[in-house]
Structure 1
């Protein structure tokens, strides 16, 4: 039986199911994070808060963009980790956490500035 994605499952041996399931749970956590980022960006713009409009829009767009990119990068990280487990290589590092952290921090600074300059 052929499994998707082939570039992951064609290589190496089947790892311990607990590790594959933990990798999948991590990916699902990134999906939940992406939904929260998108919802936050939409809410920030649609609630009509008395904030500086340009800075508020910039923060909203940054949160939404981070929410759109997070599942893509999460899937890439899932695939790299799964393949590394299958072929017995060390697990790859991920820049996803720091990237989301920076995006949220910058959005927070933009919101603070939008409050100050409202």
Structure 2
């Protein structure tokens, strides 16, 4: 029955891991999706609310939050695939890869907003 599951690159490799591990991996993926939605909401809200922040810096921060939302969603999917495949093949789980990029991006966006607030 695994030949019908998507993506085949994941489910076509190795043996079925303990369901608890697969479910934990899925919860982590969903947490990345929630993070992505939150970043998207912040990016849209910054522009929609027309806050009293220097317009160019507000726009740049808004776009940065939206781009970070895309990065978080893509990272969640790739990380889920890599972890699931590693569990199926009995290999060590891969380390985090995009988390620092998101942290640095959020800090930069917040600094832009802070600077724009006082200009």
Task: Identify the TM-score tier after normalising by the shorter chain.
Answer: over 0.9
Corresponding residue of 2:74: 72
Corresponding residue of 2:36: 34
Q: CA RMSD in A?
A: 0.8
TM-score of the pair, normalised by structure 2? 0.94
Distance across 1 between alignment mates of 2:36 and 2:98: 11
Corresponding residue of 2:87: 85
Post-superposition CA distance 1:49-71 (Å, at most 9, x none): 11110101000000011112211
More off after superposition, 27-36 vs 88-97? 88-97
Corresponding residue of 2:107: 105
Unaligned residue ranges in structure 2 (runs of 5+): none
SS of residue paired to 2:51: coil
Q: How many correspondences in the alignment?
A: 117
Runs of 4+ in 1 over 2 A off after TM superposition: none
Shift of 1:76: 0.5
